[in-house]
Amino acid sequence: MIQSMTGYGKSIALFNGKKIHVELKSLNSKALDLAARVAPLYREKEMEIRQMVSSKLERGKVDFVLWVEKCAEQTVASLNQGVLSEYYRQIKSACTEQGIPEPTDWMSVLLRMPDVMTAAEAEELTDEEWNAVRTAITEAIDNLVDFRKQEGAALEKKFNEKLDNISALLQSIEPYEQGRTEKIRLRIIESLEKNIGVDYDKNRLEQEMIYYIEKLDISEEKQRLSNHISYFRETMSDGHGQGKKLGFIAQEMGREINTTGSKSNQAEMQNIVVKMKDELEQIKEQVLNVM
């Protein structure tokens, strides 16, 4: 089954009151284009993260985000009550000794003093926490791959519909193709008799007709186009990683359809060719999303 390059994967790890979020989004790209935004605590592991992503996601423009949601107890700085009490005692004593009034708003004064508020201690990444994060990253990548597979199945269904339409249109050319040889011959004879009004060598005319009709023959183009359609289906069944190959096959299909159009000298045939081009153009647009 083919895979799409469009995908989304998410996972959450819980560790010591922290909620660690991992998200990946991907769009189509000629190669793997990975942009990673990693929370400061885990930046030392960024190279390992990139290797984990690139080992499973071969192509696509991928946005990787790892961020942490902490509980209130971890985000709020703590009040150092021992230091605050000592400041209060010293300021009160100084006011008494100096004969100056005590502050009317003690808390605003005390909270401005050094070391009253203690910032959260600097964190270190432990092996246990990193193992939890690694598991979340792996799960998020797997979720994205599953998403790509679902999108790939939808693309494969769409491709088969368009290929069926092109095959049906190709078959619909046949009735017009069979009758045009006689129409061409009668039109040339009529022009010779009415416009020129001279005798002509019927054997020579038949020889010229054969040459002319051979130039307009589209049997080979029809056969090659049918072969390309079959090869496109076969390549889709080979699995993911066939996007570029499918693009090349679609280009070859376009060449055969264009040649058929240039050899079609009837309006009905040319209309059919235009419809085939429209179906193929939809394939070409979507094949850009295939891995």
Cα gap 119→85, rounded to integer Å: 18
Evaluate if residue 153 carries a pLDDT over 90: yes
Burial class for 27, CB neighbours closer than 10 Å (0-12, 13-18, 19+): middle
Domain housing 98: 78-118
Establish if 2 belongs to a structural domain: no
The mean pLDDT value of the chain amounts to: 86
Angle between helices 46-56 and 127-191 (to 10 degrees): 40
- What is the structure's pLDDT at 122? 58
Assess whether 86 and 182 both reside in one domain.
no
Assess whether 163 and 138 both reside in one domain.
no
Evaluate if residue 34 carries a pLDDT over 70: yes
Establish if 202 belongs to a structural domain: yes
Assess whether 96 and 26 both reside in one domain.
no
- What is the structure's pLDDT at 209? 66
Assess whether 249 and 277 both reside in one domain.
yes
Assess whether 155 and 198 both reside in one domain.
yes
Of 45 and 182, the one with more pLDDT: 45
Phi and psi, residue 213, nearest 5°: -70, -35
Instruction: Express each pLDDT in 251-285 by its tens digit.
Output: 999 999 999 988 887 788 899 999 999 999 999 99
Assess whether 202 and 283 both reside in one domain.
yes
Assess whether 106 and 210 both reside in one domain.
no
Instruction: Express each pLDDT in 218-261 by its tens digit.
Output: 889 999 999 999 999 999 988 777 889 999 999 999 999 999 98
Domain tally, the chain:
3
Cα gap 84→93, rounded to integer Å: 14
Assess whether 226 and 247 both reside in one domain.
yes
Q: What is the mean predicted confidence (pLDDT) over 47-71?
A: 91
Cα gap 210→190, rounded to integer Å: 17
Q: Would you report the helix, strand and coil content of the chain in percent, each value rounded to 5?
A: 65, 15, 20
| Per-range mean pLDDT, top range of 80-94, 162-176, 190-204 | 162-176
Assess whether 37 and 54 both reside in one domain.
yes
